[in-house]
A and B are shown apart, each in its own frame.
Chain A
């Protein structure tokens, strides 16, 4: 394999050098348990404190103690959904989420349904947007929690979070957002956007895997998900992952510092990629919102062919992407996001997500489009699906 191009940055990113340097001393030089009273523990605690300050600053939280570190974005989502619902059950049992949330939100909702909660799943339009009117329609006196993701992980559509949060508060409802894909791509200001609870993850922003965080505005009640020691102000047990947390703090600081530079670069790369695809490959659909989207994620559907086989052939050329096809889900169902957006089964099956990272080059894109063109032609040549002229350029 001569060349490798990684276009799956929405799945995870590498750990950047600056972040790694921040983490390395925490594996051996500063190895104390941050809960310990002695100097070893205090040194570790200082590192955690600094990271917490960095996360709080990056999202403009009022206080650093509103940041709670977790083991992943999935844990933070589970905690937010289950913990906020259970802690506020006395006020009502109704929750509203969007139908295109990450599985960690949707599965947490299913657990709550078993406990007697009622969950409304908001539809989205063909661009992946949740409508404020629909949200308003479903709000009722029993509604205690609304959760809508800031940016969708599959298609990159940006939701109108500030409007949703405002609406939630006007009705006395708590508002949570999963911002895992938004950090580093959008300015996330929890005070300006009036967010009560927000999920974050380190490994999508050049930080390490195995660490996430929940922002929880002071005064909002939440039930514990992980019971144990007195860590995280008694709200999340478990010895703190000091290297991971140190890395997260550095990663989010850099993500916010470099946000506009990275986004400008990705915007140019995205356009270059889309232009080249359009030039070389017919019968391609761009999934997601035309404008209200992050720059790094491009989701395309290729007519007549199936995504897993595209993914595999690209992989054989050293190119890493992901697909919404049922063939990779293990559940035989294509992407719930693309289905909710109203895509036909065929187009959902033929979808590929290309997510660009900050070190991508135009030469990488040239290579990818060259290989992609060949792969699509090859698979279309053996596809039983045809429509007069479809799949063959110039006919």
Chain B
């Protein structure tokens, strides 16, 4: 059912855990299956994603998708990260069973919401600076 690559990532999801100093986070829930992904990104002043971590309530595919996403975004600029789609994650995983493809979409949604969160935080900081 799952490829060896997916199982290996699932077995040792090296990107699992919280992230101290994260400045972009998101939490998404798949309304149909109930899986939950929490994503933490640390983005530096040049807009490069330095570190990415996740916490996931879900199946093998959700956990593997989350960890793969973190691997994929590390070192990317925000613009580059924004280009990532669920299909890209699926490709990097080497495929998933058909009924599990939606897990990649959930991971992708987490990424885009985390980037939104980053910009919101940035705006907030900017406003603070202006007010002072």
Contact = CB atoms under 8 A, between A and B. Distances in A.
A109 B120 CA distance: 52
A305 B35 CA distance: 10
Given A382-B56, A383-B55, A383-B56, A306 B35 contact: yes
The B interface, classified by DSSP as helix, strand, loop or mixed, is mixed
Contacts of B62: 306, 309, 327
A330 B99 contact: yes
B37 A381 contact: no
Nearest to A383: B57
A309 B55 contact: no
A316 interface: yes
Given A309-B10, A312-B7, A325-B59, A384 B32 contact: no
B58 interface: yes
B104 interface: no
Interface in B3-36: 7, 10-11, 13, 16-17, 27, 32-36
Contacts of B34: 306, 326, 334, 345-346, 349
B36 A327 contact: no
Contacts of B7: 312, 316
Contact of A308 (B16, B37, B59): B59
Contacts of B63: 309, 382
Given A312-B10, A332-B33, A384-B38, A327 B59 contact: yes
A119 interface: no
Given A316-B11, A382-B17, A309 B59 contact: yes
Chain A interface size range: 20 to 34
B33 A326 contact: yes
A332 B55 CA distance: 21
Contacts of B60: 308-309, 312, 327
Interface in B44-80: 54-63
A306 B16 contact: no
Contacts of B11: 313, 316
Given A316-B11, A384-B27, 11 more contacts: A304-B57, A306-B58, A309-B58, A309-B63, A312-B7, A312-B60, A327-B58, A330-B99, A381-B17, A382-B56, A382-B63
Interface of A: 304-306, 308-309, 312-313, 316, 325-328, 330, 332, 334, 345-346, 349, 381-385
Interface of B: 2, 7, 10-11, 13, 16-17, 27, 32-38, 54-63, 99
Chain A to chain B: the 7 pairs with minimum beta-carbon distance, closest first: A327-B59, A384-B38, A308-B59, A382-B16, A384-B55, A332-B32, A326-B33
